[in-house]
Structure formats: structure tokens, C-alpha cells
């Protein structure tokens, strides 16, 4: 079909891209996103008052697990041997949000963008799940890739 749509063959069938001829390089991707909430919800999280437990720690672990499970969730993703997953949740009291940043890394033949994006998404969903009894109006927002390096396409940095 086209190089832009590499997950389809010439007949339009979905395929997992063959990366066997690609060189192994260090691949790194960072994604960010946030979850907006009411001030009382932020206070509950920071004071440890959420009945389900330590929201930030559980969400951090969930995000890491999400990155590792990406090929089970996204049909055409390659199973990857990730060498590092760093996930940070930062409480921004001024804007009543938690900013989530995930960086995934490996030495391999394909990128880790989907793993970083999945980590952020799963962490945000976990915050929502743990706090929904207090705030059903929370908004998961602006999940996006902000950096990637490695491979033939080189480095990408979001504006």
C-alpha cells in the first residue's frame, strides 16, 4: 500500500510489520498525559484518604504493567523485551491535575512509542478507577508522544 500505512499489505489486510531486517538500536520513547480532577479529589489523594489505597503508587505500578502488556492490548504491536520503564505521576495542585510521564527503552528492531503511550493511559485509568467514587467527572487529557529516538526515522521531539 504505502509506507505511511505499514500495518497493511498490498491487498489492504492488517499485518504485523516484519522487522527482521532492521538493525538493533537503542530505542527510547516518552509520552505524557494528565488527569484533571476536583480540588477535593486532589486533597484525598495527597492525604492518603482514598479508600482503595495509595493512588499514586498503584497507578505507577499499573502503568508499568500496562507498558509490558502493550502487545496483548494493541493487536499489531510486537512483543518487546523492554530494558527500562520509568513512570512518574506528579500532582499539580495549581491546576488540580496529575501529570503522568512514561519513558520506555530497549535495544531492539522496533520502537517503544506504543508502550510509553499505553503506560500513561493505564496509569490515568487507574487513578480514575481508584477515585471515581469521589469524582466521576475526572477528565483524562492530552495523552501524546513527546519524544522518541532510535531507528531509521531518527529523533522526534514534539513542539
Is residue 129 part of the annotated active site? The answer reads: yes
Sequential DSSP letters for 14-31: B-----TTSPPEEEEEEE
d(CA 133, CA 140): 16
**Residue 69 DSSP symbol:** T
Angstrom distances, CA of residue 125 to CA of 55, 63, 118: 11, 9, 10
- The radius of gyration computed from the CA coordinates of the chain, to the nearest angstrom, equals 18
CB atoms within 10 A of CB 141: 12
Among 9, 129, 135, 142, the active-site one is 129
Selection from 113, 124, 95 nearest residue 33 by Cα: 124
What are the residue numbers of the active site? 129
Amino acid at each position: 500500500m504505502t509506507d505511511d500505512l505499514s500495518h497493511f499489505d498490498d491487498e489492504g489486510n492488517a499485518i504485523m510489520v516484519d522487522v527482521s531486517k532492521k538493525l538493533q538500536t537503542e530505542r527510547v520513547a516518552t509520552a505524557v498525559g494528565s488527569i484533571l480532577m476536583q480540588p477535593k479529589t486532589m486533597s484525598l489523594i495527597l492525604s492518603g484518604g482514598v479508600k482503595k489505597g495509595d493512588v499514586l503508587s498503584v497507578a505507577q505500578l499499573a502503568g508499568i504493567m500496562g507498558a509490558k502488556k502493550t502487545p496483548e492490548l494493541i493487536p499489531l504491536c510486537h512483543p518487546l523485551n523492554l530494558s527500562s520503564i520509568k513512570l512518574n505521576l506528579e500532582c499539580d495542585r495549581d491546576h488540580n491535575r496529575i501529570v503522568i510521564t512514561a519513558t520506555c527503552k530497549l535495544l531492539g528492531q522496533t520502537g517503544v512509542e506504543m508502550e510509553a503511550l499505553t503506560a500513561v493511559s493505564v496509569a490515568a485509568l487507574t487513578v480514575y478507577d481508584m477515585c471515581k467514587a469521589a469524582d466521576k467527572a475526572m477528565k483524562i487529557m492530552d495523552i501524546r508522544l513527546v519524544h522518541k529516538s532510535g531507528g531509521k526515522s531518527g529523533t522526534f521531539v514534539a513542539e
